Amino acid sequence: MPQFKFFEQVNKNFDKASQYTKHDSGLLDQIKICNSVYHITFPLRRDNGDIEVIHAWRAEHSNHKQPTKGGVRYSYTVSEDEITALSALMTYKCAVVDVPFGGAKGGVKIHRKNYSKSEIERITRRYTYELNKKNYIGPGVDVPAPDYGTSETEMSWILDTYNALNTGLDNEGCVTGKPIAEGGVHGRTEATGRGVFYGIQEACNNKEDMKMLNLNHGLEGKTVIIQGLGNVGTYSAKFLQKGGAKIIGIAEIEGGIYDPGGIDIDKLLEFREDTGSILDFDDAKNIKPSSKTLEMECDILVPAALENQITEDNAQNIQAKIIAEAANGPTTSSAHDILKKRGCLIIPDHYLNAGGVTVSYFEWLKNLSHVRFGRLDKRFEENAFKRIVEAIESVSGKKFTQEQINMLSHGASEEDIVESGLEETMVVAYNEINEIRKKHDVDLRTAAYISAINKIAQAYEQLGIFP
């Protein structure tokens, strides 16, 4: 299989979209280029006393908005090219969904499973120390978040280390994806998967597109294959299944499973917890190699693993009518062209997986305001609704049950507000890029890049930094 330079793939898409804009070529070059990349090396003393050199990176792609924002991944595939490309996608992603951050990304090059919890903690704290030393972290500078191979645990260590090195009222805002007790926000863990669901649902609600694909309007009954059962894939599967779709295939590292009759995701997760694998689940057919699962018949394919999973080598074999890119960069530029020519609807990554950064933005706002969402108005709303219910009872003579009263008078909790804000963000952004798509007669990916380029260019021009 050919090697793909990830940043090059991102820039190909950028160049294709920039042709539909009227911005100066120098400004376009400034938007496209990565502002800075920090390559870090530091020693780790292993639990057995050996010393190992760890390589890590942090890229800040664009400072047109501050702070910059992006996850930190722990993987042996981490490289400067990957981190730079992901930071660029973060820039465009934030612009598409109107989140006021510049794009950044970080990564540590390790096989996580080869390290103990204490070693991971030491790596995380040293990485944070190195970022802080060069001013690559801070609530108004650069704000990390969880990504592939990291979780709220690592974010908690980042916050604790940052607090040890800095004093400040807004320190909690130096990182998002934290535990609730340390300033996290309800709904952040499942945010990317929930955003994927909202994006797919909105696409399926477009009657014109569904007619062109010879599919029924709406999500109900559509068959789905998902690649990757990490955080994003798991929650995408859960919400899609709850929304009426039928999950018929799952691809994981050890192999894939396929069952046209449907796969119960909750039962599959329990099975994997017990056996350590998704293979041999119920009546599902085992698929090896795992990549062949992507080529099975379905309506919607959701690549939710790593980049460059759909290439010119397998794009011709993909049978899905909708490609929903839950992962970053899962489809190469050449593969995209093959799928587009075949009539596939491709929902692009830098729109579809923006749920994580959107809810991270909500968490960051909560940290800076020092007020939990819903705290000021939840009880007021409930009491107002109760008075309305009482008025209806008085006029109609009908008495509501306590269960009905509780349902009708429910005030918005933090999770309700976050969920509502995420849905609003994903729905508005989809319709915005869909209008651009119609205007220029392009695909959704190009439309999303056009949207991002125009917004970033406007931000640069407003900054007045060009003579």
Where does the pLDDT of residue 465 fall: very low under 50, low under 70, confident under 90, or very high at 90 and above? low
pLDDT of residue 317: 95
pLDDT one-digit tens code per residue, 344-385: 999 999 999 999 999 999 999 999 999 887 777 877 787 888
Query: Is pLDDT at 421 greater than 80 in this prediction?
Result: yes
CB 112 within 8 A of CB 75: yes
- From the centroid of its chain, how far is CA 248? 23
The mean pLDDT value for 335-346 works out to 95
Given a cut of 50, whether residue 228 has pLDDT beyond it is yes
Name the catalytic one among 105, 109, 366, 378: 105
Q: In this predicted model, what pLDDT tens digit does every residue of 289-334 receive, in sequence order?
A: 999 999 999 999 999 998 889 999 999 999 999 999 999 889 998 9
Q: Tens of pLDDT along 84-93?
A: 999 999 999 9
Average pLDDT over residues 441-446: 96
Residues 136-167 pLDDT 10s: 999 999 999 999 999 999 999 999 999 999 99
Distance of CA 144 to the CA centre of its chain: 13
Q: Confidence class of residue 115 from pLDDT cuts 50, 70 and 90?
A: very high
pLDDT, tens only, 195-211: 999 999 999 999 999 99
DSSP 245-295: -EEEEEEETTEEEE-TT---HHHHHHHHHHHSSSTT-TTPEEESSGGGGGG
Q: Where does the pLDDT of residue 466 fall: very low under 50, low under 70, confident under 90, or very high at 90 and above?
A: low
What sign results for the dihedral spanned by CA atoms 422, 423, 428, 431? positive
> In whole angstroms, what is the distance from residue 203 CA to residue 295 CA?
22
Average pLDDT, the chain: 94
Q: Taking residues 54-69, what's their average pLDDT?
A: 96
Q: What's the rounded mean pLDDT across residues 390-405? A: 85
Could you tell me what percent of the chain has a pLDDT over 70? 98
Instruction: Return the DSSP state at 409.
Output: T
**Mean of pLDDT values over 183-200:** 95
pLDDT of res. 409: 78
Give the mean model confidence (pLDDT) for residues 422-428. 97
Crossing angle of helices 414-440 and 444-463, rounded to 10°: 100
Per-residue pLDDT at 1 exceeds 60? no
What pTM, to 2 d.p., does this model score? 0.91
pLDDT at residue 255, rounded to an integer? 95
The three-state (H, E, C) secondary structure of 173-227, written as one string: HHCCCCCHHHCCCCCCCCHHHHHHHHHHHHHHCCHHHHHHCCCCCCCCCCEEEEE
Instruction: Kindly write down the DSSP assignment for every residue of 132-189, as one continuous string.
Output: HHTT--BTTTEEEEE-TT--HHHHHHHHHHHHHH---TTGGGG--S--GGGT--TTST
* Catalytic residue status for 105: yes
Split at pLDDT 50, 70, 90, the class of 14 is very high
Q: Which domains are assigned to the chain?
A: 11-190+430-463 (3.40.50.10860), 214-342 (3.40.50.720)
pLDDT per residue over 118-143, tens digit each?
A: 999 999 999 999 999 999 999 999 99
pLDDT, tens only, 247-270: 999 999 999 999 999 999 999 999
Q: How much of the chain exceeds pLDDT 90, in percent?
A: 84
